[in-house]
């Protein structure tokens, strides 16, 4: 099928904000959940930063996840604007929930309903962003908010490796500002609502949502009948209920104007007194009518109208919708301070259809996935592999870089950050050109993968292996198919990877297996490791190495969250085992190494796996493809 007709109908900022060289974003039916962002890369050959404890100095990655994704962003109590006009803490959101996002129309962004596509959490260092109107947001340093000058991270630097647009004092965020607190469901609020609905001043029959709320309130107030008595001295909760009932029964919100019509003398007095009590700007519109009714207009624009709706909580969601409203207001949303809290907190993020959402009244960028290229390839929600960057010119750019006089033909490692044989390779076929460029320049290389697409290129690899050193390794962490589906969704199963090892060795190429990550309490017993190494030996592997599970940064929160669902009995032992940092305690690592080493020797898999010639490597860290 042709991809030219599959362009994603959204602007590049929504797809991958700020990505350089973006040519187009496309979808394909065979990858229904994925968006492929095709870019023209300026460089493909990447030098590993000095001090990195990995056994190579150069990498090539034809594919990458979202390079600007913020991960696990906001505190769980942060209210998110729902599509029905209510708010819900981000921690309570679920996939499928309808919320508000934004889209660009002309010079302005406008509020539009969207859907939560993924939802997850982690534990990260937290920062408090305080705005001039009093809005306070707790987020990670990686999170982005929309300012009058575009998207900006919470923290960043002006120079160096962490250089990126970030919030500074005086930046203005976009939105309406902090959401008002919803009314308490008290007896006074319920009496006020019933009084507002049944005030006897006319209006159309109640809508279904109003009828349901009235029935609930009457049932809870045994012996109460309509109309209810009005208090001599109203409370704030009664006032909120009154305004909600008046709005529900015949109030309107049209053309961005809130009106409360058909008010008789007593209702007019009570409504204006209630609005004044909460500092809502309003005006009485005197209209000629046979019955002398009046209408009250609530002024102040979208920010005040949303404050009204959240303060009083009317039942009719359709009458409080803000679809299509422009994101502009007079609220003072200047950044006053960005301060570290000095502690790590559980933080949450979501993926949405529009690429953003409204967090406590300001426009917040969503994350298409977790921080997709740390050390674990475990999925953190349905968005992990939904945004794939494809360097469509990778073979050509690499060939030019390798032809430079300065290139010393040092070993190049592939699969150290993202899998070069992930599913997209079946469509784009970049690796044959990459392999050809490396071989033509006389550069030794290695490939680590869990993708069975590699079998397509075995004839080519066998051919170039006669001219340059080539080493292949397959990542196989476990045999339990059910567990594998849970921690590595969307990847080939254990048997498929063992078959790949057989095909590699049948082609006359050396193949090692990396047993990684070994999961404490799940895949680390002598019986489990013995069974896995037996299968690896039977598949023809030359050697096997092992790396225990690491839990750095973003990975820690996701993994422990997954563990709480899959094996809650292991959460406390893990917290103890990893209390010292991302690595398991030294005593555990030593014991595991001894156990694995003895089994590897028993199966004849203890020799070092083949790798391109080069300097002696340091102990490798757990990599993305493990």
The CATH number linked to 290 is 3.10.28.10
For residues 145 and 242, membership in a common domain is answered with no
Each residue of 498-526: b (16+ CB within 10 Å) or e?
bbbbebbbeeebbbbbbbbbbbbebbbee
The residues, any chain, with a CB within 8 Å of residue 222's CB and separated by 6 or more, are none
In DSSP terms, which residues pair with 446 in a beta bridge? 413, 471
Last residue of one domain, picked from the residues 285, 320, 355:
320
d(CA 514, CA 623): 11
Query: Would you say residue 332 has pLDDT above 90?
Result: yes
Task: Between 344 and 465, name the one with better pLDDT.
Answer: 465
In whole angstroms, give the CA distance from residue 536 to residue 140. Answer: 42
Whether 245 and 271 share a structural domain: yes
Q: How far apart are CA 297 and CA 497, in angstroms?
A: 68
Q: Is residue 29 part of a domain?
A: no
Task: Give the pLDDT of residue 161.
Answer: 55
Q: Are residues 123 and 194 in the same domain?
A: no
Residue 272 lies in a domain: yes
Each residue's pLDDT tens digit, 405-437? 999 999 999 987 788 998 788 889 999 999 999
Residues 203-261 pLDDT 10s: 455 678 898 898 888 876 555 666 778 898 999 999 999 999 999 998 999 888 999 99
**573 pLDDT higher than 60:** yes
Same domain, 342 and 311: no
Q: Does 616 reside within a domain?
A: no
- The answer to whether residues 257 and 341 belong to one domain is no
- Radius of gyration of the CA atoms of the chain, in A: 30
CA distances from 457 to 197, 393, 424, 435, 463 (A): 73, 19, 15, 9, 10
Residue 584 has what DSSP assignment? P
What is the 3 state secondary structure string of 143-159? CEEEECCEEEECCCECC
Are residues 150 and 586 in contact, defined by beta-carbon separation less than 8 angstroms? no
Which structural domain range is residue 413 located in? 395-602
- Of 261, 291, 320, the domain-final residue: 320
Reply yes or no on whether the pLDDT at 60 is more than 50.
Answer: yes
Same domain, 406 and 539: yes
Q: Is residue 21 part of a domain?
A: no
Nearest to 396 by CA among 437, 424, 431: 437
Give the pLDDT mean for 500-527: 95
Instruction: Work out the percent of the chain whose per-residue pLDDT is above 90.
Output: 52
Give the C-alpha separation, 235 to 225, whole Å: 21
> Per the structure block, which two tokens stand in for 167?
């919030």
Who has greater pLDDT, 281 or 565? 281
Average pLDDT over residues 29-56: 73
**Are 409 and 488 members of one domain?**
yes
Determine how many CB atoms are found less than 10 A away from the CB of residue 469. Answer: 18
Answer yes or no: is pLDDT of 6 > 90.
no
What whole-number percentage of the chain has pLDDT above 70?
A: 81
271 lies in the same domain as 341: no
Looking at residues 517-522, what average pLDDT do you find? Answer: 95
Q: Give the span between the Cα atoms of 538 and 386, in whole angstroms.
A: 35
473: three-class secondary structure by DSSP? strand
Q: Assess whether pLDDT exceeds 90 at residue 381.
A: no
Is residue 617 scored above 50 in pLDDT? Answer: no
Q: Is 262 helix (H, G, I), strand (E, B) or coil?
A: strand
Same domain, 458 and 583: yes
Region 503-527 average pLDDT? 95
CATH number at residue 110: 2.170.16.10
Output the pLDDT for position 395: 97
Residue 146 has pLDDT above 90, yes or no: yes
**Which residues fall within 8 angstroms of residue 191, CB to CB, at 6 or more apart?**
221, 228, 231, 238, 241
DSSP per residue over 322-380, as a string?
A: -TT-BS------BEEEEEEEEEEEEEEEEEESSSEEEETTEEEE--SSS-TTSS-----
For residue 308, tell me if it sits in a domain: yes
The domain that contains 517 carries what CATH number? 3.80.30.30
544 and 430 in a common domain: yes
Calculate the average pLDDT of the chain.
82
User: Does residue 9 lie in a domain region?
Assistant: no
Counting Cα atoms < 13 Å in the Cβ hemisphere of 32 gives 0
| 226 and 288 assigned to the same domain | yes
Tell whether 552 and 428 lie within a shared domain: yes
Residue 384 domain-assigned (yes or no): no
Domain tally, the chain: 3
Other residues' Cβ atoms within 10 Å of the Cβ of residue 186:
14
Residue-wise pLDDT for 465-478, tens only, equals 999 999 999 999 99
Which of 361-375, 396-410, 537-551, 553-567 is predicted with the least confidence, judged by mean pLDDT? 361-375
Whether residue 470 is contained in a domain is answered as yes
Task: Specify the higher pLDDT residue, 454 or 104.
Answer: 454
**Residue that finishes a domain, picked among 320, 352, 383:** 320
């Amino acid at each position: 099928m042709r991809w030219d007709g599959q362009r994603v109908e959204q602007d590049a900022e929504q797809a991958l904000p700020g990505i350089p060289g973006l040519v187009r974003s496309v979808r394909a039916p065979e990858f229904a959940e994925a968006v492929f962002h095709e870019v023209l890369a300026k460089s493909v050959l990447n030098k590993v930063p000095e001090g990195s404890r990995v056994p190579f100095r150069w990498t090539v990655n034809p594919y990458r996840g979202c390079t600007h994704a913020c991960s696990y962003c906001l505190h769980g109590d942060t209210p998110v604007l729902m599509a029905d006009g209510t708010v819900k803490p981000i921690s309570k959101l679920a996939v499928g929930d309808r919320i508000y996002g934004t889209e660009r129309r002309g010079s302005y962004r406008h509020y539009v309903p969207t859907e939560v596509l993924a939802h997850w959490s982690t534990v990260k260092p937290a920062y408090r962003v305080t705005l001039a109107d009093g809005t306070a947001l707790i987020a990670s340093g990686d999170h982005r908010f929309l300012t009058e000058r575009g998207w900006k991270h919470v923290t960043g630097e002006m120079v160096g490796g962490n250089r990126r647009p970030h919030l500074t004092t005086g930046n203005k965020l976009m939105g309406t500002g902090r959401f008002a607190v919803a009314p308490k469901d008290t007896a006074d609020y319920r009496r006020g609502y019933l009084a507002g609905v049944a005030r006897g001043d006319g209006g159309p029959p109640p809508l279904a949502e109003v009828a349901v709320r009235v029935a609930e309130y009457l049932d809870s107030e045994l012996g109460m009948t309509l109309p209810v008595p009005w208090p001599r001295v109203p409370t704030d909760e009664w006032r909120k209920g009154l305004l909600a009932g008046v709005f529900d029964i015949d109030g309107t919100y049209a053309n961005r104007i809130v009106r409360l019509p058909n008010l008789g003398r007593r209702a007019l007095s009570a409504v204006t007194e209630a609005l004044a009590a909460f500092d809502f700007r309003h005006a009485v519109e005197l209209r000629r009518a046979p019955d002398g009714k009046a209408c009250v207009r609530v002024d102040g624009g979208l920010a005040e109208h949303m404050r009204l709706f959240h303060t009083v909580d009317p039942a009719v969601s359709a009458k409080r919708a803000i679809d299509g409203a422009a994101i502009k207001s007079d609220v003072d949303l200047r950044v006053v301070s960005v301060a570290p809290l000095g502690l790590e907190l559980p933080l949450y993020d979501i993926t949405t259809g529009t690429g953003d959402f409204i967090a406590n009244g300001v426009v917040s960028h969503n994350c298409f996935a977790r921080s997709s290229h740390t050390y674990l390839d475990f999925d953190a929600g349905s968005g992990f592999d939904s945004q794939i960057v494809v360097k469509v010119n990778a073979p050509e750019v690499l060939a030019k870089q390798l032809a430079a006089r300065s290139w010393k033909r040092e070993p190049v490692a592939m699969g150290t950050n993202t899998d070069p044989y992930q599913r997209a390779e079946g469509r784009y076929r970049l690796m044959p050109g990459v392999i050809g460029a490396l071989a033509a320049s006389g550069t030794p290389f290695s490939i680590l993968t869990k993708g069975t697409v590699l079998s397509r290129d075995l004839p080519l690899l066998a051919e170039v292996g006669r001219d340059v050193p080539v080493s292949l390794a397959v990542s196989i962490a476990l045999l339990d198919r059910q567990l594998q589906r849970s921690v590595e969704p969307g990847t080939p199963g254990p048997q498929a990877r063992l078959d790949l090892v057989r095909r590699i060795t049948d082609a006359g190429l050396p193949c090692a297996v990396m047993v990684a990550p070994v999961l404490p309490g799940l895949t680390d017993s002598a019986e489990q490791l013995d069974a896995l190494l037996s299968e690896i030996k039977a598949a023809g592997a030359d050697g096997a190495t092992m790396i225990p599970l690491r839990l750095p940064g973003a990975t820690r929160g996701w993994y422990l969250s997954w563990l709480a669902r899959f094996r809650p009995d292991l959460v406390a032992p893990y917290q103890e085992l990893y209390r010292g940092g991302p690595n398991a305690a030294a005593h555990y690592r030593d014991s595991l190494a001894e156990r694995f080493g003895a089994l590897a020797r028993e199966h004849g898999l203890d020799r070092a796996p083949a790798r391109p010639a080069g300097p002696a490597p340091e102990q490798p860290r757990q990599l993305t493809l493990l």
